[in-house]
Amino acid sequence: MKTTLKTNITVKDICDGFVYNELEGKGLFGLSGKLTIQPEYQRNYIYASDGGKKEVAVIESLLKGYPIGLLYFVKVNNDKLEVLDGQQRITSFGRFVTDKFATKDENGMEQYFSGLAVNKQRTILKSTLTIYECEGTESEIKEWFKTINIAGVPLNEQELLNAVYSGPFVTLGKEEFSNSQNSNIQKWSAYVKGTANRQEFWHRALDWASKGEIGDYMSRHRKDKNINEVKTYFNSVIDWASSVFTDVESEMCGLEWGRLYEEYHKQSYNPAKISAKLHELYSDPYIKNRKGIFEYILGGSIDTKLLNVRVFDDATKKSVYAAQTKTAKTKGISNCSHCAIGHDANKEKIWNATDMDADHVTAWSKGGATAAKNCEMLCKTHNRAKGNR
């Protein structure tokens, strides 16, 4: 790969013909149309999120004459360059120069570019940039892009995958799943954590469709002219989840819906009954893991481990142990009630506290409370044999 250092290109040069399209995934251009600022393997513009602090920082650096870091362009041919690294910074000053956002001046007043003093405008426009122009094969450049990763916000896994497997498939995927204007996003957000512009819906859709083999899947479908399989599968999962659970709870977000769909979608559920059960479990103070409620219900309300039901505290166990042991000693029987009714040598055994565990007399699943009056200490063997809490 060949690289050439350029130090004479100014902010003004780059901003000549600058085009910013609010709809993510569309190319942005500069250098009189010669420069593509957002090639398809680049991520969406994210500097404006988190309150725009990062894009303001870029402008302040320029005003103070500080360097804004190395920029990398790929030379596609003599008339065409693409930004490899620096898209966020270039978009920041491009947006500023075209009055898309304001900075605060020394008096705390908001100032748009067009309202700045002429000398300040000139300082920004005349700032020179440090640019490496690179020429090489597609794979050399992509490999390099994967490793440089020097911009302020590191690329996440999906952004890297989009870069490595760029092509029509990624472009279509981003159009559907990484477009913050897509009206389905609100619905998706109940089930999937993240934001469109960080590729998190696209990532989850690929994760579900590929059963976790995202890289492999993207490589096989790279040249596809449609994303039907991913889209259909993703919608099936979301539609299934929303038809089974008609309530929307915050704990639903981020669950492994793809896996739950695979395991349970062939079973039939009564949404009204599910909703009643869900409300009952949500109001149960003993359930520590509400996220587990959904799979617990799907599995027929059997696997209480999913709920992490609250256990007895040490003070309760200690006092129950003391009372039980005292009574057992006066009767001359084991302090484990199950041992006491047995026929072996443990019939009269007084266990140490450390050899016993607390058990719900009435199981939690049958309405038993996690309180002293529902607590019984059993020897470890019998406690384990009883199993459920």
First-last CA distance in the chain: 65
Q: Does 377 bind Zn ion (CB under 5 A)?
A: no
In whole angstroms, give the CA distance from residue 148 to residue 125.
Answer: 27
> 3-class SS at 80?
strand
In whole angstroms, give the CA distance from residue 344 to residue 15.
Answer: 90
In whole angstroms, how close is the CB of 162 to Zn ion at the nearest point?
60
Stretch that binds Zn ion, among 271-279, 310-318, 369-377, 381-389 (CB under 5 A): 381-389
In whole angstroms, how close is the CB of 389 to Zn ion at the nearest point?
17
Phi, psi angle pair for 384, to nearest 5° = -65, -40
In whole angstroms, how close is the CB of 277 to Zn ion at the nearest point?
34
CB neighbour list of residue 132: distance below 8 Å, 6 or more residues apart: 3, 4, 5, 6, 70, 71, 72, 73
In whole angstroms, how close is the CB of 332 to Zn ion at the nearest point?
16
Stretch that binds Zn ion, among 6-14, 51-59, 149-157, 375-383 (CB under 5 A): 375-383
In whole angstroms, give the CA distance from residue 120 to residue 115.
Answer: 10
Would you say 4 or 327 has its CB closer to Zn ion?
327
Q: Does 170 bind Zn ion (CB under 5 A)?
A: no
Among 43, 54, 317, 382, binds Zn ion (CB under 5 A): 382
- Exposure letters 271-280 (e unless 16+ CB within 10 A, then b): eeebeeebee
In whole angstroms, how close is the CB of 346 to Zn ion at the nearest point?
6
The DSSP H or E segment spanning 3 is: strand 2-6
> 3-class SS at 357?
strand
Q: Does 95 bind Zn ion (CB under 5 A)?
A: no
Question: With CB under 5 A, what is the number of residues at the site for Zn ion?
Answer: 5
Per CB under 5 A, contacts with Zn ion among 110-169 are none
Q: Does 386 bind Zn ion (CB under 5 A)?
A: no
Would you say 211 or 326 has its CB closer to Zn ion?
326
Q: Does 196 bind Zn ion (CB under 5 A)?
A: no
Q: Does 48 bind Zn ion (CB under 5 A)?
A: no
From residue 80, alpha-carbon distances to 30, 87, 337 in Å are: 11, 16, 84
User: 27 is written with which tokens?
Assistant: 């190319």
In whole angstroms, how close is the CB of 338 to Zn ion at the nearest point?
4
Would you say 260 or 339 has its CB closer to Zn ion?
339
In whole angstroms, how close is the CB of 369 to Zn ion at the nearest point?
23
Q: Does 252 bind Zn ion (CB under 5 A)?
A: no
Rg over CA atoms, the chain? 31
In whole angstroms, how close is the CB of 319 to Zn ion at the nearest point?
20
Taken in order 70, 75, 81, 84, the sign of the CA dihedral is negative
Torsion of the alpha carbons at 164, 165, 167 and 173, rounded to the nearest 10: -110
In whole angstroms, give the CA distance from residue 334 to residue 341.
Answer: 9
Q: Kindly give the residue spans of alpha helices, DSSP state H, lying in 245-309.
A: 257-264, 271-282, 293-298
Residue 13 near residue 31 (C-beta atoms within 8 A): yes
Would you say 148 or 385 has its CB closer to Zn ion?
385
Would you say 265 or 386 has its CB closer to Zn ion?
386
In whole angstroms, how close is the CB of 339 to Zn ion at the nearest point?
3
In whole angstroms, how close is the CB of 229 to Zn ion at the nearest point?
56
Stretch that binds Zn ion, among 7-15, 44-52, 363-371, 372-380 (CB under 5 A): 372-380
Would you say 308 or 381 has its CB closer to Zn ion?
381
Per CB under 5 A, contacts with Zn ion among 311-340 are 336, 338-339
Q: Does 43 bind Zn ion (CB under 5 A)?
A: no
Would you say 161 or 339 has its CB closer to Zn ion?
339
Q: Does 37 bind Zn ion (CB under 5 A)?
A: no
The position carrying tokens 């999913």 is: 306
Per CB under 5 A, contacts with Zn ion among 339-358 are 339
From residue 329, alpha-carbon distances to 266, 320, 335, 359 in Å are: 56, 14, 8, 21
Residues lying near Zn ion in the complex (CB under 5 A) are found at 336, 338-339, 379, 382
